[in-house]
Structure 1
Amino acid sequence: MKNGKLINDLPDGEKPREKMIRLGTGSLGDDELIAIFLRTGVPGENAIAIGRRLLDNHGGLPGLARTEIQILAKEHGLGPAKACQLAAAFELGNRLARRKLDLVELTSPEKIYHFMAPQMQSLRTESLRVIVLDSRLRCLTVQEVSHGSSNQTVALIRDVLRPVLLNQSNNFAVVHNHPSGDSSPSRADDRFTKSLAEGAELLDLTLTDHVIVGRPSSNSQPYYSYAESGKLL
């Protein structure tokens, strides 16, 4: 199939919408799903080809989800409206993933990782978030308390503990992301976690874990857990 061939000129079995109706959403490739959102192409490049180009240029779906709307809007064949449509699709996926996990008891670092990764792996700067937990370690609320650069975020201990106290809870976890994808903790991460655990203990609060969200790769784990590593008080 040439890039310039119109989708309407494809056989019915290859048209994304007809294929989705007949075989279900799982039958479509990533480029075809993107084409559903784009609807139309540009001269010399149909919507499927644009989807394939976007995936190639931005490192697949994970990279595309992390791309800022302003950058997407400059891509040939998109513009602000279609860039917003794509960003909205990724955000809906993130929210759906969170809703499915809302009643899960966050009793392990793996569960915390899967709870937070959909929204944090796509961030281009570091963000520190507090998960306030009930007595069964289910999420009551998630609040961002700090965000920073591509390799550092700074938070005060009182800012982290404030949402826990305001929600009258005794249990909480903290999560932050490494945009590089490497979940290994830094010395600053170690110092912060030690101070936070000490501050929580003084107020009779329980820090269940500090999880660093990275990305799956052959060279590193997708997350790092201070509790799992035995580095919490």
Structure 2
Amino acid sequence: MRIREIPKSDRPREKLTERGAGSLTDAELLAIFLRTGIRGKSAISVAADLLQQKGGLIGLSRSTASELSRGTCGVGPAKAAELAAAFELGKRLARGGIERPVLDSAEAIFSYVGADLQAMNRETVKVILLDTKLRLIRVEDISLGSINESVAHPREILRPALLHSAYAVVLVHNHPSGDPSPSQADRRLTVQLAEASRIMQITLLDHVICGTSDGGRSPYFSFRDSGLL
């Protein structure tokens, strides 16, 4: 069914205006960006196909503009660029507008970097540097690994803290599978990093693993909150 054949009150744009953006499905929201469909398919159908092809919104957010336009029927370079820009705006909004936020809890840490890490399709390790009031100094990329494994060493993790005179650090990384449960390698690294931090008199505030909230589980795992740090 073409969008013009849908009752006016159920068309994505009209529905958004009358009922709010929260009333739209993922496919309907995407259809607003796509604007037009292709022969035999409405913009909503093209959007639904795109979501299925990319594995939902998380998979879609991990795609670059070139990946979105390559081999995706109905999505050209201009539409792909608009979608990539929309996802980037969402990530920046998720990080908040505070220039130097206080990151003193796993919840605050996940709110600041979770969207970025969820968008990664490779296991990625970052270190967050904090001052004595646990305010953000900067976020440093440490390593980019394979789909399910990343290699990091305490010396690479702590080097930025020394360079920027950080009082505390938070290790964060993602599990592209979506399950934030720590592996044995994650546990070993945390123990090693805690010992190295103690020797160097740098506070290891937490190690947070970012995943997704699929099935009602928490989208992140905190070693500190779990009593493992």
Give the TM-score normalised by the residue count of structure 1: 0.87
Q: Which one of 155, 159, 166 corresponds to residue 158 of structure 1?
A: 155
Report what 2:35 is aligned to. Answer: 39
> Gapped runs of 5+ residues in structure 1?
none
Residues 154, 116 of structure 1: CA spacing in aligned structure 2 closer, same or farther, 3 A cutoff? same
Preserved CA contact (<8 Å) 1:210 1:225 = yes
Structure 1 CA distance, aligned partners of 2:98 and 2:26? 24
Report what 2:11 is aligned to. Answer: 15
Query: Taking every aligned residue pair, what percent have the same amino acid on both sides?
Result: 46
Residues 70, 195 of structure 1: CA spacing in aligned structure 2 closer, same or farther, 3 A cutoff? same
Question: Which moves more between the two structures, 154-163 or 125-134?
Answer: 154-163
Report what 1:129 is aligned to. Answer: 126
> Gapped runs of 5+ residues in structure 2?
none
The aligned length equals 228
Preserved CA contact (<8 Å) 2:128 2:169 = yes
Residues 101, 128 of structure 1: CA spacing in aligned structure 2 closer, same or farther, 3 A cutoff? farther
Q: How far is the alpha carbon of 1:70 from its aligned partner? A: 4.2
Report what 2:53 is aligned to. Answer: 57
| Corresponding residue SS for 1:218 | helix
Report what 2:109 is aligned to. Answer: 112
Preserved CA contact (<8 Å) 2:96 2:112 = no
Structure 1 CA distance, aligned partners of 2:66 and 2:213? 27
User: Residues 36-69 of structure 1: CA distance to partner in whole angstroms, max 9, x if unpaired?
Assistant: 2112211111212211222233333223223454
Report what 2:146 is aligned to. Answer: 149
Structure 1 CA distance, aligned partners of 2:14 and 2:224? 49
2:198 aligned with 1:209: no
Residues 218, 48 of structure 1: CA spacing in aligned structure 2 closer, same or farther, 3 A cutoff? closer
Report what 1:94 is aligned to. Answer: 91
Report what 1:168 is aligned to. Answer: 165
Residue identity opposite 2:50 in structure 1: L
Preserved CA contact (<8 Å) 1:145 1:155 = yes
Residue identity opposite 2:225 in structure 1: E
Give the TM-score normalised by the residue count of structure 2: 0.88
Structure 2 CA distance, aligned partners of 1:99 and 1:182? 25
| Corresponding residue SS for 1:118 | helix
Structure 2 CA distance, aligned partners of 1:217 and 1:85? 27
User: Residues 199-226 of structure 1: CA distance to partner in whole angstroms, max 9, x if unpaired?
Assistant: 2112211010011111113385422222
Structure 1 CA distance, aligned partners of 2:93 and 2:148? 28
Preserved CA contact (<8 Å) 1:127 1:148 = yes
RMSD: 2.2
Q: Which one of 219, 226, 229 corresponds to residue 229 of structure 1?
A: 226
